[in-house]
Chains A and B, each alone.
Chain A
Amino acid sequence: MSVKDNLKLATGLAALSTIIAGVGPAAAAADWCKQIANGIYCAAPENPPPHFCGTKPVSVALADGFADNPWRQMTTASAINEASRCPNVTGFTHTDGQGNTQKAISDVEGLAAKGVNAIVVFPDAGPAMLPAIRDAHKQGSVVVPFRAKVGGKEGVDYNVFVGTNFYEHGLIWGKWLVDAMHGEGTVAYLGGPPGTSESTEKSKGLHDAFKGYPGIKWIGQDPFEVTNWDPSLMAKSLTALIARYPKINAVVGDLSIPILSSGAFPRAGRELPLVAGEDANGFGCEWEKLHANGAKSDYQFTTTSAEQWNVRLAIQWAIADAAGGKVDEPLVIVDSKGGKHIVANPGDKIVHNFVMDDSLKGVVFCDPSLPESAGNGTGLTKPQLLQALKGGL
């Protein structure tokens, strides 16, 4: 055979393999997933596949409003992992709106124009994203906004909205604090930017948990101290609170690890208070350090999961609607100690949180080989977590 013939044969074989890959769903799924970080996020094959996968070949996308922080990276890794459970998924695209509403809108419209079958959107810009979401839905893509509300109507402007219950987070924290403070003490809550619905709803949960406990005094701004989730501003707010109140019994925070790491309490010569917040490795490691070798410290804490897995339910609904599947199995998250948590029952569109750390009960998560901001209840394996925290997704 001549060189030309060899080339023809090679081209033919390549074309044939492409066709086979397109027809054989399992091979296609492996291909797209293996191309992302050498396949570290790919799920183990399941036989039979989960019910939400359906049967039709579908392409999937996650349109993020902003991607460059640890929470988003862990969320994207979770989305890839969940989509890779379906052998009929033919590709996965992730777009980063870079905090720019115009780009986020253009991303969603671009995905719809390319004919992506199932689009999960994190609409950071809120209702401003609705027209793009509606357009994508009209063009035939299945669109599932999640976590941030966009307004509009389910079934008309988009397929399904998958959310979380922020109120429940506040309620869990509040109940723990009532027990930890024996119904008496001062509590401050450090939230996000002014008016943010997440912090407002969590604050309602906290207030409801404190009802019937007149000995618990809310200090600082109500519904929350505005910190923009910025560690420096959190430190300044804490300094102001420390100056105004001779005793702070508890501090609650969305982005809670800076309550410890910013050093506001030690700088003022105060003991660390009780802390309630979201799952972060640094909390447990600090607790172990302060309580090492039987040392005594007032610092006790609780965390709920930071819900990097919320996107999994959104991916399930998007694939199910696009590929003819059904979300009729519970969503179970396994923490780094092997604990299993049902966060959504069959057919649920809203996830439920669970308690991770409770130092008063001796349940503390600390993996010294992970960064302080890493979560231990993400549902990702340790290698996946470490890879995700390197960024680049």
Chain B
Amino acid sequence: MTGDPRRESALPSQEDAKPFLAHGRARSSLSFLRSSGGILAATVLLFVAGGFVQPQSLSSGSLSGMIPFAAVLVIVALGQTLVIQQGGIDLSVPGMVSIAGVTISYFGHAEAATTGSTLGMALIISFAVAIVAGLIDGLLVSRARVTPIVTTLGMNALLYGLNVKISGGTPVAVPDSLSNFANGRLFGITNLAYVAVAVTIAVIVVVKRTAFGRTFEAVGANARAARAAGVVAGRYQLAAYTAATCLYCLAGILLAGLMKLPSAFQGDTYLLPSIAAVAIGGTSLFGGSGNLAASAIAALFLSQLQQLVLTTGSSVGVQFLFQGAAIIVGVAVYSVNWKVLGATIQIFGGQMSPPRGQTA
């Protein structure tokens, strides 16, 4: 097996990973800047330019309203990145974010009425639903070889079915403890920002700093090669879907706490932004090495962009134009082979320019 060049190049074993990790730590800050520098610069530019165009977009009122929603999108985007890294795509985001809001509010509400304001059982039920959904998704994709689009689309419908069965579409308030936490602040910054940063760091550490995580990325890069090398690739796909649904569940719970009276369909608006954040963050939609930090920054970028456009008071049409343009530009930066494009333009430019000696 060790002679297999595919394994040597793509799949470090746990032993192999140790020196790699030691080396990786030394260059991690550089690689982070290299891989996330583009979106980081774009986000900084957005804040600075936004401050000039619409100074109120940087007011404390605007930022304190935007950051909690950005934190929710960051967590959702991390989950989507894990799945896309494995060459999949998760269309069950709306269903999972919505049902998390319903389970936490309905079971939390009932629990608060009978046992005080504790949330324990409601949290357990919410994450149990997420784990079961993730396991089913993962098993269908990795074992039954059902395409991710079909699997997660079906799961989305199942989750909405369960949602309507529990809630009848009627929202109820979340327990005060959750609402107080989600709307609370520490050192003047919303608690949700700390949660988003902590979750982002935790996921990055697991994926980038452990042998499990490195193998996880390698499986995403080439599952066939991984299987040929003896790695149980399905296990990593299963882990991706389960971790992703748990992250959506967490995001749904926090969003429900933030809204206090969450809509039973609160996740409806999170599917496209989650995929856009992954794409803008530079993770290939065909799988492979994912860029979790960049996805998180891209989620912040998209949230601030939306808030900036809303703050300018632009019409809905202009809002859509700005957001669409940002996504296209963001994806193009990573997807277009600029060298080839430049060469093509040169060739066409050369052909179109008049031959020497024939100028007027």
Q: Does B323 contact A (CB under 8 A)?
A: no
* Number of B residues, CB within 8 Å of A: 41
Q: Which A residues are CB-close (under 8 A) to B266?
A: 231-232
Q: Does A294 contact B (CB under 8 A)?
A: no
Q: Does B164 contact A (CB under 8 A)?
A: yes
Q: Which A residues are CB-close (under 8 A) to B306?
A: 236
A372 touches B61 (CB 8 A): no
**Cross-interface CB contact of A244 among B64, B260, B311, cutoff 8 Å:** B311
Q: Which B residues are CB-close (under 8 A) to A39?
A: none
> From residue A39, how far is it (CB to closest CB) to chain B in Å?
19
- Within A243-293, which residues are at the interface with B (CB < 8 Å)? 243-244, 257-258, 261-264, 266-270, 282
**Cross-interface CB contact of B62 among A243, A257, A266, A373, cutoff 8 Å:** A243
Q: Which B residues are CB-close (under 8 A) to A267?
A: 64-65, 68, 183, 190
> From residue B165, how far is it (CB to closest CB) to chain A in Å?
8
Q: Does B207 contact A (CB under 8 A)?
A: no
> From residue A384, how far is it (CB to closest CB) to chain B in Å?
14
B61 touches A232 (CB 8 A): no
Query: Once the chains are docked, how many angstroms separate the CA of A371 from the CA of B258?
Result: 18
Q: Does B172 contact A (CB under 8 A)?
A: yes
With known contacts A73-B168, A220-B313, A231–B262 Cβ distance under 8 A: yes
Interface 1/0 per residue, B65-95 and A, CB below 8 Å: 1101100000000000000000000000000
B168 touches A263 (CB 8 A): no
B261 touches A373 (CB 8 A): yes
A232 touches B310 (CB 8 A): no
> From residue A316, how far is it (CB to closest CB) to chain B in Å?
26
Q: Does B59 contact A (CB under 8 A)?
A: yes
Q: Which B residues are CB-close (under 8 A) to A235?
A: 65, 69, 258-259
Query: Once the chains are docked, how many angstroms separate the CA of A243 from the CA of B311?
Result: 7
Interface 1/0 per residue, A98-129 and B, CB below 8 Å: 00000000000000000000000000000000
Q: Which A residues are CB-close (under 8 A) to B183?
A: 263, 266-267
B61 touches A239 (CB 8 A): yes
Query: Once the chains are docked, how many angstroms separate the CA of A372 from the CA of B179?
Result: 15
> From residue A383, how far is it (CB to closest CB) to chain B in Å?
16
Query: Once the chains are docked, how many angstroms separate the CA of A302 from the CA of B165?
Result: 33
A371 touches B69 (CB 8 A): no
Q: Which A residues are CB-close (under 8 A) to B173?
A: 261, 282, 371-372
B171 touches A194 (CB 8 A): no
Query: Once the chains are docked, how many angstroms separate the CA of A268 from the CA of B262?
Result: 20
> From residue B301, how far is it (CB to closest CB) to chain A in Å?
15
Closest to B171 in A: A373
B269 touches A263 (CB 8 A): no
B313 touches A221 (CB 8 A): yes
A69 touches B170 (CB 8 A): yes
B307 touches A236 (CB 8 A): yes
> From residue A147, how far is it (CB to closest CB) to chain B in Å?
18
Q: Which A residues are CB-close (under 8 A) to B310?
A: 236-237, 239-240
Q: Does A178 contact B (CB under 8 A)?
A: no
Interface 1/0 per residue, B242-271 and A, CB below 8 Å: 000000000000010011111110101100
Q: Does A214 contact B (CB under 8 A)?
A: no
> From residue A233, how far is it (CB to closest CB) to chain B in Å?
7
A70 touches B261 (CB 8 A): no
Query: Once the chains are docked, how many angstroms separate the CA of A372 from the CA of B171?
Result: 8
Query: Once the chains are docked, how many angstroms separate the CA of A389 from the CA of B260?
Result: 18
Q: Which B residues are CB-close (under 8 A) to A244?
A: 56, 311, 313
With known contacts A236-B306, A261-B260, A69–B268 Cβ distance under 8 A: no
A72 touches B261 (CB 8 A): no
Query: Once the chains are docked, how many angstroms separate the CA of A231 from the CA of B261?
Result: 9
**Cross-interface CB contact of B61 among A226, A236, A242, A263, cutoff 8 Å:** A242
A230 touches B268 (CB 8 A): yes
B169 touches A243 (CB 8 A): no
> From residue B257, how far is it (CB to closest CB) to chain A in Å?
10
Q: Which A residues are CB-close (under 8 A) to B60?
A: 268-269
Query: Once the chains are docked, how many angstroms separate the CA of A68 from the CA of B160?
Result: 11
With known contacts A239-B61, A244-B56, A373-B170, A257–B311 Cβ distance under 8 A: no
Query: Once the chains are docked, how many angstroms separate the CA of A390 from the CA of B69?
Result: 29
Q: Which B residues are CB-close (under 8 A) to A264?
A: 65
**Cross-interface CB contact of B56 among A233, A238, A243, cutoff 8 Å:** A243
Q: Which A residues are CB-close (under 8 A) to B172?
A: 371-373
A240 touches B307 (CB 8 A): yes
Query: Once the chains are docked, how many angstroms separate the CA of A263 from the CA of B259?
Result: 7
B69 touches A232 (CB 8 A): yes
Query: Once the chains are docked, how many angstroms separate the CA of A266 from the CA of B64?
Result: 10
Q: Does B26 contact A (CB under 8 A)?
A: no
Q: Does A212 contact B (CB under 8 A)?
A: no
Closest to A228 in B: B269
Q: Does A151 contact B (CB under 8 A)?
A: no
- Within B274-309, which residues are at the interface with A (CB < 8 Å)? 306-307
**Cross-interface CB contact of A243 among B61, B167, B260, cutoff 8 Å:** B61
A236 touches B170 (CB 8 A): no
> From residue B322, how far is it (CB to closest CB) to chain A in Å?
13
> From residue B308, how far is it (CB to closest CB) to chain A in Å?
9
Q: Which B residues are CB-close (under 8 A) to A215?
A: none
7 closest Cβ pairs, A-B complex:
A391-B168, A239-B65, A243-B62, A240-B310, A68-B169, A261-B261, A268-B61
Excluding A243-B57, A268-B61, A268-B65, 12 further A-B contacts by CB distance (< 8 Å) are A69-B169, A232-B263, A232-B266, A235-B69, A239-B62, A243-B62, A244-B311, A261-B261, A263-B258, A263-B259, A372-B261, A391-B170
List 21 interface pairs A-B (beta carbons < 8 Å), by A numbering. Answer: A194-B316, A230-B263, A230-B268, A231-B262, A232-B263, A237-B310, A240-B311, A243-B61, A243-B311, A261-B260, A262-B258, A262-B260, A263-B259, A267-B183, A268-B60, A268-B64, A268-B65, A371-B170, A373-B171, A373-B261, A389-B170
B contacts, CB < 8 Å to A? 56-57, 59-62, 64-66, 68-69, 164-165, 167-173, 179, 183, 190, 255, 258-264, 266, 268-269, 306-307, 310-311, 313, 315-316
